[in-house]
Homo-oligomer: A and B are copies of this chain.
Amino acid sequence: MEPISEVAELFRHQRAVRAFSDREVSDEIVEQVLTAATHGPSGSNTQPWRWIVVRDADVKAQVSEEYEAAFAAAYADRAPARADDRQPFTEVPVLIVACVQVPSTGRAGIQTGASIYPACQNLMLQARALGLGSVLTTLHRVKRAKIHEILGIPEGWDTAAIIPLGWPDRSYGPNRRPPISEVVMRDRCSE
């Protein structure tokens, strides 16, 4: 994919990329996308995140095994979207694990996501701007206990997403969306 420097072009060119070329992803690029992530907003600006950069083949293989089991269970009775395009994590150059601190109530809820997914989106947008592909995956949460053990996630932390990152396997066009009039309402819900 071509790099994008203009904000005006950025959002409609983000695509879910699940397969990557063999081209190396440099540490410098990983730093750039993580820097964008950490400039994201969070509740009361607490920045309650940690980011694990997984390049180690053995860690990838262990995480991949659990993820594939979760994937098989999730799609036991329906076809996954774009199954042919998906590489297992073992073949992905870099996995970024987005970790978020669990609130003092002890349980992550939808609001917890408000302090980590905007930062994930920054990461993915910065990746797209550089010409890299990524995708936000959360299916690992089905096998969370095992994956937390593999990654050594401590008490008080949760894993919000695993984001594969790499140079795309091919070119991707812009994303397509229906007109906003289909999803926008004025002042109150009207259905």
Name A residues whose Cβ lies closer than 8 Å to a Cβ of B: 4-8, 10-12, 14, 16, 31, 34-36, 38-41, 43-45, 47, 49-56, 59, 81, 99-100, 108-114, 116-118, 120-122, 124-126, 129, 135-136, 138, 141, 150-154, 157-158, 160-161, 175, 177-178, 180, 183-191
For the complex, what is the distance from the CA of A177 to the CA of B39, rounded to whole Å? 7
Contact of A39 among B14, B54, B113, B129 (CB under 8 A): B14
7 residue pairs from A and B, CB less than 8 Å apart = A12-B39, A16-B41, A41-B124, A53-B185, A100-B110, A108-B110, A122-B125
The complex is assembled from copies of this chain, and their number is 2
Whether B109 contacts A186 by the Cβ 8 Å rule is no
List the 5 closest pairs (A to B, CB-CB), nearest first: A113-B113, A117-B117, A118-B121, A152-B189, A11-B39
Once A38-B183, A52-B185, A189-B153 are accepted as A-B contacts, the answer to whether A126 and B11 lie under 8 Å apart by CB is yes
